[in-house]
Amino acid sequence: MVDDIMELFEAIKGRRSIRKFKEETPDEELIEKIVEAGIWAPSAGDLQSWNAVIVKDHQIKIQIAIAAYVQEFITKAPVIIVVCANQANAGARYGERGRELYCIQDAACAAQNMILSAYALGLGAAWIGAFKEDDIAELLDLPDYLRPVALIPLGYPDEEPEAPPRRSVKEVIYNEKY
Ligand SMILES: Cc1cc2nc3c(=O)[nH]c(=O)nc-3n(C[C@H](O)[C@H](O)[C@H](O)COP(=O)(O)O)c2cc1C
């Protein structure tokens, strides 16, 4: 158990955002394993109010990169996973809080699980949050209840970035009251 905990912390600290990929496309099996890790994330009421659109088509990747304010490296990723919050699903049970918050949190938890498990499987990924939602929605034929939350370019890493600095625990914590 202690060893398992050490491995988890290694993964949490060793994972980096990867923005340079080798050409090889990861097998379908690996991609499904990564999405499965997302499914095992916590979610409000276990509703798992999110969906994933997997993009491999080069022309669509170019359009996605344009919608992401021309972050060109996205076009070089063999796969892009577009994680979308399902507002209808969470909204049906939880009303406005479900539509505006829980499904976004569900999608974010799932995306983080996917990025972390990609690293554990020897792949690289990044979280891309800067994009025009309407453009992504139109490109991917998303219904109006699916809100794109994160673009995750995915592939075999072709770089080993240094870890950027983190805040100290002391800086983050307030005891009892803020
Ligand atoms: C909500 C969110 C939005 C982000 N948007 C972008 C983005 O648009 N483009 C990008 O290259 N990286 C983006 N990132 C990745 C961050 O830049 C990165 O996680 C941060 O610099 C820490 O580096 P690390 O992931 O290697 O630890 C985003 C991350 C998050 C969580």
| 99 vs 148: CA distance, rounded Å | 13
Mean pLDDT (the chain) is: 97
The pLDDT value given to residue 155: 98
pTM: 0.97
Closest C-alpha residue for ligand 1 atom 2: 129
**Topology of domain 18-158, per CATH?**
NADH Oxidase (3.40.109)
The pLDDT value given to residue 3: 63
Q: Which tokens hold the place of 125?
A: 């990924």
Closest C-alpha residue for ligand 1 atom 6: 128
Question: Is the CB of residue 128 below 6 angstroms from any atom belonging to ligand 1?
Answer: yes
The pLDDT value given to residue 6: 66
Closest C-alpha residue for ligand 1 atom 18: 17
Distance 126 CA to ligand 1 centre (A): 7
**pLDDT at residue 5 greater than cutoff 90:** no
Domain boundaries, the chain: 18-158
**Helix 28-39 / helix 103-120 crossing angle, nearest 10 deg:** 140
Strands in the chain per DSSP E: 50-55, 79-86, 124-125, 146-155
Mean pLDDT confidence for 78-84: 98
Atom of ligand 1 nearest to the CA of 164: 23
Give the sheet arrangement for strand 50-55, strand by strand: 50-55, 79-86, 146-155, 124-125
Mean pLDDT confidence for 40-45: 98
